[in-house]
Structure 1
Amino acid sequence: MVGGDTTEQARRRFAADVLQLKPRYVVIMIGINNTWALDTFLPSDRLTPQEIYQQVTSDVEAMVHAALEQGIQPVLCSLLPTCMDRYARNHERNQLVITINERFQAIAEQTDCLYVDYHSRMTDADGNTLRKELADDGLHPHVLGYQLMATVLRDTLSAHDIALGTPS
């Protein structure tokens, strides 16, 4: 993963970054950076939530299918909520994240791949916004956020009888 990547950039690199290496599993957790197209400075660069949804879900679905075709098990992760009040469209972003996550979960069910639901464990009581104690900037988890994410990942893998340990 490269910081600031969108799904389009990750999809273009997927063959070189993942498929040629033939890992047993690939964790796919990408899409939040696409949502910055809601807030771009120039109105001509802005995308609608529906355009972003289509972009993210089609790119991720293509990566899932490419992995499966190569015998690689995808682990598809939900996008995280945000808590960035300084952005006027933060509520709209969080609603878009929920919609994208619903599609990710459907993709996982349709392709029989693992889905890791970080979102539901990281939201405030509203079910929409990132809990303030999990990130200093409202976007990137800090140690408490990552500890919670590790727990969610371990629980999900364990529920699917996937043992964590050192590679053989």
Structure 2
Amino acid sequence: MTGPFTAHDRLLFIGDSITDSGRDRSDPRSLGTGYVRRIAARLTAPTVLNKGLNGNRVYDMEARWATDVLAERPTVVTVKIGINDTWRTFDRGLPSPIDRFRAAYTSVLAQTRGHLPADLFVITPFLLPVKAEQHSWMDDLAPRVEVAREVAAEFGARLVRADLVMPRAAADHGAATLAPDGVHPSALGHRILAEAWLDAAGVPPPHSWAHADEPGPDHQVRARPASGPLP
């Protein structure tokens, strides 16, 4: 299934460890085991590239934008960033002032608009608190969600509201089921993220849900019917 995409499209996903999801950085075809791979499994025509990098804050992503995004000449760019800007504030004392966060986020989308005729997607950051101290992170994360929403509107990007989709699903499944540490998605969490992106992209759902809870090598997804409809 290709939906709105063709064999001429190059879909590039960039962000932190949620996008990285264990990809083999020595292999440009490696997609990791997360939501990017699940999206690629549903889109048979376009080229899909994963440029997620574990530990990235928005400034790290900005520093590699020219080489990891612009040089690849993608036709679709998806950005998911922000949770490490909050997390590092609390666990390492590395603040990420919201004005600097906004400037860096604006910069990468402006560069893309200035250099590429690419469609843009923005996935908002999310947190599913599973530890008592993580509840205090929400006040820091909330303005980053707003920045993601605002820059998406400014640059005409399609918005994927992970900050809404994931908590809604957690109400049914439990936060730890979707993200055992509150941040990194489980197989089900990645599946929900993938479906949210596919919905925003206008890709119709399959007749029966299929996903890989135990992914094999890249591009060889072992699919099996899901136990029920996506929340």
Aligned to 2:124: 78
Structure 1 segment 73-152 matched on structure 2, within 5 A: 73-85=119-131, 88=133, 90-123=134-167, 131-152=175-196
Q: Tell me the CA shift for residue 69 of structure 1.
A: 0.8
Per the normalisation by structure 1, the TM-score is 0.78
Matched, 1:60 2:105: yes
- Residues 84 and 139, structure 1, Cα contact 8 Å, conserved in 2: no
Distance 1:124 1:112, change over 3 A: closer
Identify the structure with the greater strand proportion. 2
Deviations 1:129-164 (A, max 9, x none): x83321222210011101111111111111xxx789
Structure 1 segment 16-35 matched on structure 2, within 5 A: 16-35=67-86
Give the RMSD, CA atoms, in angstroms: 2.6
Name the CA distance, whole Å, in 1 between partners of 2:94 and 2:152.
29
Number of residue equivalences: 151
Structure 1: 5+ residue stretches without partners? none
Structure 2: 5+ residue stretches without partners? 1-51, 206-231
Task: For residue 120 of structure 2, give the secondary structure of its aligned residue in structure 1.
Answer: strand
Report the identity percentage: 20
Paired amino acid for 1:85: K
Name the CA distance, whole Å, in 1 between partners of 2:156 and 2:73.
19
Task: For residue 97 of structure 2, give the secondary structure of its aligned residue in structure 1.
Answer: helix
- Residues 120 and 156, structure 2, Cα contact 8 Å, conserved in 1: no
Paired amino acid for 1:15: A
Q: 1:39 aligns with which of 85, 90, 102?
A: 90
Q: Tell me the CA shift for residue 63 of structure 1.
A: 0.6
- Residues 82 and 94, structure 1, Cα contact 8 Å, conserved in 2: no
Per the normalisation by structure 2, the TM-score is 0.58
Identify the structure with the greater helix proportion. 1
Matched, 1:157 2:186: no
Deviations 1:83-103 (A, max 9, x none): 1415x3x22322322221122
